[in-house]
A and B are shown apart, each in its own frame.
Chain A
């Protein structure tokens, strides 16, 4: 008697990714609530800066054409820093690196984590037991600590410029993000897989002699997608935070690149009294983007739950 009537009988219920087919569907669903609409607009705004930054920014990142320490206003909307670089342009140009690092890092983590999670979840038994322990061990360490240790080591290695090791080292932040998030994504996918593999349609597939790969990707994977989408958007928001933190700690980007975290770090201390704007604007950009991504991922979670 206490069961809830959440859906009228006979109502057409298409699976979530059919209902939300394409980015257009997702966007429409996100625009339903003011919070997630705001978050989505913020993210889209920064995404535009990331894509078209060089066309929008009035100056190049390291132009020192003006006097240093100019107050915000006039030609320099956000003022100039102690070296006379335009803070407005540097904030705009910084968007691309944070999107690239956090975005691709998350993407790699999601792809690898999904494979790992699906495989160990479906296989079960000893494989699952061992992989589960490894994942637990990795999760026990704080992400920032792992990242700091790895990046610290990589920075002290000298590779021949242009070699593959050097190119890998250049993308080390991105790879570290992927590394620390793989176990998290894998765990989420694994638990969904464990639930789905007990359903009878999986047994029906086994009874037609389907291969393991077919069952994992054709029968199980689609049902994992809703949980995966939610997890990916959440991971992305944490990744932005992590990239900014690493930049601030000085282990990600090197000066003079226009990295937001790095800019905050460079302009703190004594410089803060002279040019507070050179710290405040990049800090505000980080805060705004993190809030925006969080609001959006919240909206995605609700959209997925509603259709699922």
Chain B
């Protein structure tokens, strides 16, 4: 056996998987192939419905009850044919030889068994260890995944752990029996960037130490760039491209890969520079795949030959691409970017200032906690959850205020206070010089029509039993006071404005894709011609290729209608793209505000710095080890004193941070931070860290 052969852990050839849906077979994955070597992290990237997760489950033989693997498929794991094995024979493989880390750790852990017990059970079952030995090994493994207080955590139940800690337990569980292969399916998608960064560091380190092979499924190209050695790009169930990560990011050969790379906003890119390049259309239905190349209907380079199926070719050793026109793309003879998306009108920084539309002062929301019996007897009042704690901000006419922060920082509560879906505890909201009431029930029709919202989940923001036309017509009649005929005409105009055909008015939300639903939700929000639209994670649920088109749409509509946005997202690059001003929120308070570009390049406040550092960079060459935030965001019930960030701050000064609330400090222009350190001091610290890194 040669060295190369000995290193191959997993060899998949011609893997095809079908699902039985409504009596017919849908071929969700066709001709998938991969070869994973020991110590190698192989990424699989694609949008929803691309078959990336299905392919990974197929390797594991872990398909849903309506799925089957086609006969011609081969899966060889350590020289053994996995597809020939019975379920019973697969059990030792599942338990000990292949570890899996699913997207949702809460669902992967049994809620009624202590986590230590669950992990130790694998060793007892597959390695025959005694109870005590297994538990000792578990504690050791928990230390390796950097769970603080490993001895204490083994005795906890899953619900007592945060999402990040649960995911570490699941990773420990996957690695405890020293498997030769690890399959990770979007393990960080539900986590905050700060936690994600730490988990990614951990995965990288553990794979290197264990010398296991890994398949890493994700939709996030940044994660691929930072973590993987090789990557497969999937689309509509087929491999589009397979390459070393460096090659893929520098010289992508497939038009789909190029489209994906272009549609992700980079940090620092703004709507004033250029529009985002998006991929037109939506992925095809697997039930009605296009003849020939599956990507051809959306491909800007599609020509006559693309109506025939392109083979998976190898332009050079170690590289695969499925496109008829790769030689032309490789030689640079054709460009995928058909037309430049136009940017919204550029402005000098000084021109940004406009009249104030909305002013929020000392806005506060405390959620009371129910008293326990003991507390009631002692006549104690438990501390409330301080979701939003004295926020001051203003939004200008026709401008976008971006709001960023980890989950639990109070962003959504703040948005809901402004639109009136939550009653405020204290503070004032001033719209165009008029103070407005707290709750939607008390607000007049005029106020309601000025403040609208686009919600996060397109699935839930439209009533499935009302047609698109009915959904948009209602605010027109209710808030804009139109009659039925005028409203119907206006529906057509609004649909056109969000680039949907007029016949969509008759459709039900179930017939639309996620991106189309979000366009309808945007049309509905614009129906009453509001002065301010709050977008709460409005593009987070969308695939990148669709997300960029929706971002362009939002920027265009804003310029045309002079509407203001409060744009909330956990994705800093997206916020930075759309926002003119940005506010950074942590535990119910703002810690940094300023012009969009100033805020991130470079970030000043230690919290902003950590947020920026946590974003997986889209550049595989960038291997700087930036600052990481230790620990989790504290509970807003037990608020840290002084500066709320002091528990996790990498640049903590000392006792003053724990006791005294930090003051607002100007950092030039309209840029302010709330920190005990001077802005210059912070810049110096970052420089010092960078220098240390280089040495």
Contact = CB atoms under 8 A, between A and B. Distances in A.
A5 B185 contact: no
B452 interface: yes
B448 interface: yes
Interface string B440-452: 1101010010011
Interface residues of A, number: 32
A223 interface: yes
B49 A9 contact: yes
B616 interface: no
Given A209-B443, A209-B448, A11 B463 contact: no
Contacts of A208: 448, 474-475, 478-479, 528
B530 to A, nearest CB: 10
Interface stretch (A198-206, A265-273, A279-287): A198-206
A219 interface: yes
Given A200-B460, A208-B475, A15 B445 contact: no
Contact of B508 (A15, A203, A209): A15
A11 B287 contact: yes
B508 A200 contact: no
B186 to A, nearest CB: 8
A221 to B, nearest CB: 9
Interface in B341-368: none
B285 A11 contact: yes
**What class of interface size applies to chain B in its complex with A?**
35 or more
Contact of A5 (B64, B282, B283): B64
B324 interface: no
A10 interface: yes
Given A201-B461, A203-B421, A204-B461, A5 B67 contact: yes
Contact of B461 (A200, A209, A222): A200
Contacts, number: 125
B100 A8 contact: no
B262 interface: no
B479 A8 contact: no
Contacts of A199: 460-461
B158 interface: no
Interface in A185-209: 199-201, 203-209
Interface in B19-37: 19, 21, 26, 28
A9 B48 CA distance: 9
A209 B479 contact: yes
Contacts of A14: 508, 510-511
B214 interface: no
B121 to A, nearest CB: 19
B487 interface: no
Contacts of A75: none
A200 B509 CA distance: 14
B512 to A, nearest CB: 10
A64 B456 CA distance: 74
A2 B217 CA distance: 13
A145 interface: no
A77 B22 CA distance: 46
A194 to B, nearest CB: 15
B524 A1 contact: no
A5 B28 contact: yes
B420 A1 contact: no
Contact of B103 (A1, A10, A206, A219): A1
Contacts of A10: 282-288, 513
B478 A206 contact: no
Nearest to A220: B463
B566 to A, nearest CB: 14
A6 interface: yes
Interface centre among A2, A4, A203, A205 (most CB of B within 10 A): A2
B28 to A, nearest CB: 6
Given A1-B185, A9-B48, A207 B452 contact: yes
A200 B48 CA distance: 22
A18 interface: yes
B511 A12 contact: yes
Contacts of B67: 5
A133 interface: no
A85 to B, nearest CB: 52
A119 B617 CA distance: 51
A129 interface: no
Interface in B97-148: 100, 102-103
Given A5-B64, A9-B48, A201-B461, A210 B282 contact: no
A263 to B, nearest CB: 46
Nearest to B421: A203
B455 to A, nearest CB: 4
A150 B453 CA distance: 53
A3 interface: yes
B62 interface: yes
B453 A9 contact: no
Contacts of B183: 1
A223 to B, nearest CB: 6
B21 A5 contact: yes
Contacts of B478: 208-210
Contact of B62 (A2, A15, A205, A206): A2
A15 B287 contact: no
B382 interface: no
B461 A1 contact: no
Contacts of A12: 510-511
A6 B20 CA distance: 8
Contacts of A3: 53, 64
A254 interface: no
Interface in A12-34: 12-15, 17-18
Interface centre among A14, A204, A206 (most CB of B within 10 A): A204
Contacts of A15: 464-465, 508, 510
A278 to B, nearest CB: 49
B453 A207 contact: yes
Given A1-B62, A208-B478, A13 B461 contact: no
B287 to A, nearest CB: 4
A200 B285 contact: no
B57 A2 contact: yes
A4 B66 contact: yes
Contacts of B513: 9-10
Nearest to A10: B285
B579 to A, nearest CB: 23
A2 B107 CA distance: 10
B419 interface: yes
Interface string B149-183: 00000000000000000000000000000000001
A116 to B, nearest CB: 21
Interface string B480-500: 000000000000000000000
A191 B453 CA distance: 27
B64 A223 contact: no
B451 A207 contact: yes
Contacts of B19: 5, 8
A2 B102 contact: yes
Contacts of A6: 21, 66
Contacts of B283: 9-10
A39 B464 CA distance: 31
B23 to A, nearest CB: 10
A17 B465 CA distance: 9
Given A200-B455, A201-B461, 20 more contacts: A1-B53, A1-B60, A1-B102, A2-B64, A2-B102, A5-B54, A8-B19, A10-B285, A10-B286, A10-B513, A11-B21, A11-B287, A15-B464, A17-B465, A201-B462, A203-B453, A209-B443, A209-B479, A210-B474, A222-B465
The 8 A-B pairs at the shortest CB distance, nearest first, are namely A10-B285, A222-B465, A13-B510, A1-B185, A4-B64, A200-B455, A9-B49, A200-B461
Interface of B: 19, 21, 26, 28, 48-49, 53-54, 56-57, 60, 62, 64-67, 100, 102-103, 183, 185, 217, 282-288, 419-421, 440-441, 443, 445, 448, 451-453, 455-457, 460-466, 471, 474-475, 478-479, 508, 510-511, 513, 521, 524, 528
6 contacts: A1-B62, A1-B100, A8-B285, A9-B49, A9-B513, A15-B508
